[in-house]
Structure 1
Amino acid sequence: MDRRRGAAVLYVPLVLAALAALFPIFWLLAGSLQTTQKLYKGSELIPRKPQWSNYVQAWVDGRLGVYLPNSLLYTVCAVVGILLVSSMAGYALARIEFRGRSGVMFVILAVLIIPAPASFIAQYKLMLSFGLTNSRLGYVLVLITAGIPMATLIMRGFFANLPKDLEEAAAIDGCTPFSAFARVILPLARPGLIAVAVIQGLNVWNEYLLALVLFDDDDLMPVQRGLMNFVSSETPLQNILLAATAISALPVIVFYVLAQRQVVQGMSSGALK
């Protein structure tokens, strides 16, 4: 009986916290299936007559068929680039003793303090000098450089918790330092890599201000541009905006559901320490 009471004391608050976290998603889906009038009245928590046409209008009027593939491309390319650079940089900072390592860490921390919009002008001038403004490549390169500092710190913390005996055993078997990293250390860092992929993927997916700076062509914009089509003080379409938001959030939710075990394992193993 005491065990049941103890379990209830533990699980009841957790269930309530989970419901509170899921309620905004429920409200998003419920509001996306209502008419504008009923949404403003708030008379129906669960719509009696779901308006599935809201999703069709959101897809067509928001041009999500153009913007959604753009965001998928930008997110995949940026996350892959961030993982490649941050994994090697984090391993070097965690394992290799060299002069100036503390200075490198200080620079990384200093970069994280600077607000992202403060660097937009410098990034635009740099991309302009290379002829990469209004191009997918320039946008992805800036996204990669913006995500490397935090990802490097996360990966450094993860590699620092792995025993050094692994590299020594690999060296005895004839592995070079790079092959030991690629074949032994990196597979063990999979939870940390997935944790970084989720964090940076969310950052890239939700990015919009930088796209406004670099892009002149509307067809190159990310999915957040489609959401802005329904933000207007004159003709507010909140129900259509909610439908567009649900569509844009679906890929992120699917990815997180598939990778949630690795994310939790990466956090508990020290990826965020």
Structure 2
Amino acid sequence: MSRIPPHKIGLYGLLAVAAFIALFPLLWMVSGSLQSLTELLSNRSFLPADPQWHNYVTAWVQGDLGVYLRNSVLYTGCAVAGILLVSSLAGYGLARLDFAGKGVFTFVILAVMIIPAPAMFLAQYKLLISLNLTNNPVGYVLILITSGVPMSTLIMRGFFAGQPRALEEAAALDGAGPLRVFWNVILPLARPGLAAVAVIQGLGAWNEYLMALVLFEDNSLMPIQRGLTAFTSAETPQQQILLAATTISIVPVVIFYLMAQRHIVKGIGAGAIK
């Protein structure tokens, strides 16, 4: 078993404190989800005296979380797939192709990122009306994709710019066309960037609710956040059920993050310094 070097004990201690501060809200949420309402409001103990596992059953049934969770998984999966496809192609073009207006195009991408998402709701909603895509999952997924493409394109551009051109030249000499070079040579090398983009945009798509509230009229099309609002009534407070529902809602995100975590730091760092 390796020992911690004495000169790094302070650093590791600081990191441990930071990790605890970051994890404490999650631990409090899980603990509160297993308490009764009386115990939760009394705030007598951090740990539940008698774990109320039925809170999760109540949250699942009363909040209709099965439908909303399915919707969020579908919307997020389709949005992330679309963002990865568009941003990887656009990022590769910006990194490798020389064309007129390249600098202007990059500037426009940066300018779009500055505009707050709610400021574009009216234009997006009017466009979806003209396309007859209101109250339609396709329209909602398209909004998620267009919202995530600008930043993702810049991240992927940084990754592709860092790849040596010799790899592409060698593949071209072997007879590979541009698309085959991109798909079989360059894209596999950009997996950390793809993972970083997938996590960043996946979290954004999973947590989006305001546009869904504007776009959807059918309650059965709403994402998981709609199920959480079922327990926020002032007349019948159910904070413990809300905490249980929230815990359920973050499970898919945590699983996805754990699967991609080894690529995230490398992906964000490499894309940011280009």
User: 1:4: how far off?
Assistant: 3.2
Matched residue, 2:114: 113
**In angstroms, what is the RMSD of aligned CA positions?**
1.3
Matched residue, 2:229: 228
User: 1:141: how far off?
Assistant: 0.9
- Per-residue CA deviations over 1:213-256 (Å, capped at 9, x if unaligned) read 11000000000000111112222211111100000000000110
Question: 8 Å contact 2:134–2:216 — kept in the other structure?
Answer: yes
Structure 1 segment 41-120 matched on structure 2, within 5 A: 41-120=42-121
For residues 58 and 272 of structure 1, the distance between their equivalents in structure 2, rounded to whole angstroms, comes to 40
For residues 23 and 57 of structure 1, the distance between their equivalents in structure 2, rounded to whole angstroms, comes to 25
Question: 8 Å contact 2:79–2:145 — kept in the other structure?
Answer: yes
Matched residue, 2:29: 28
Which ranges of structure 2 fall in alignment gaps of 5 or more residues?
none
Matched residue, 2:145: 144
Secondary structure of the corresponding residue to residue 146 of structure 2: helix
Matched residue, 1:271: 271
User: 1:3: how far off?
Assistant: 6.9
For residues 107 and 168 of structure 2, the distance between their equivalents in structure 1, rounded to whole angstroms, comes to 27
Q: 1:3 to 1:35 in 2, by over 3 A?
A: closer
State the one-letter code of the partner of 1:42: N
For residues 118 and 69 of structure 1, the distance between their equivalents in structure 2, rounded to whole angstroms, comes to 29
State the one-letter code of the partner of 1:197: A
For residues 94 and 173 of structure 2, the distance between their equivalents in structure 1, rounded to whole angstroms, comes to 23
Matched residue, 1:210: 211
Question: 8 Å contact 1:195–1:271 — kept in the other structure?
Answer: no
Question: 8 Å contact 1:195–1:266 — kept in the other structure?
Answer: yes
For residues 228 and 240 of structure 1, the distance between their equivalents in structure 2, rounded to whole angstroms, comes to 11
State the one-letter code of the partner of 1:8: I
- Per-residue CA deviations over 1:163-200 (Å, capped at 9, x if unaligned) read 11111111111111221111100000011001000000
For residues 185 and 116 of structure 1, the distance between their equivalents in structure 2, rounded to whole angstroms, comes to 32
For residues 231 and 158 of structure 1, the distance between their equivalents in structure 2, rounded to whole angstroms, comes to 43
| TM-score using structure 2 length | 0.96
Question: 8 Å contact 1:78–1:143 — kept in the other structure?
Answer: yes
Question: 8 Å contact 1:90–1:156 — kept in the other structure?
Answer: yes
Secondary structure of the corresponding residue to residue 229 of structure 1: helix
Which ranges of structure 1 fall in alignment gaps of 5 or more residues?
none
Secondary structure of the corresponding residue to residue 225 of structure 2: helix
Q: 1:230 to 1:178 in 2, by over 3 A?
A: same
Matched residue, 1:126: 127
Q: 1:133 to 1:29 in 2, by over 3 A?
A: same
For residues 41 and 6 of structure 1, the distance between their equivalents in structure 2, rounded to whole angstroms, comes to 44
User: 1:16: how far off?
Assistant: 1.3
User: 1:9: how far off?
Assistant: 1.8
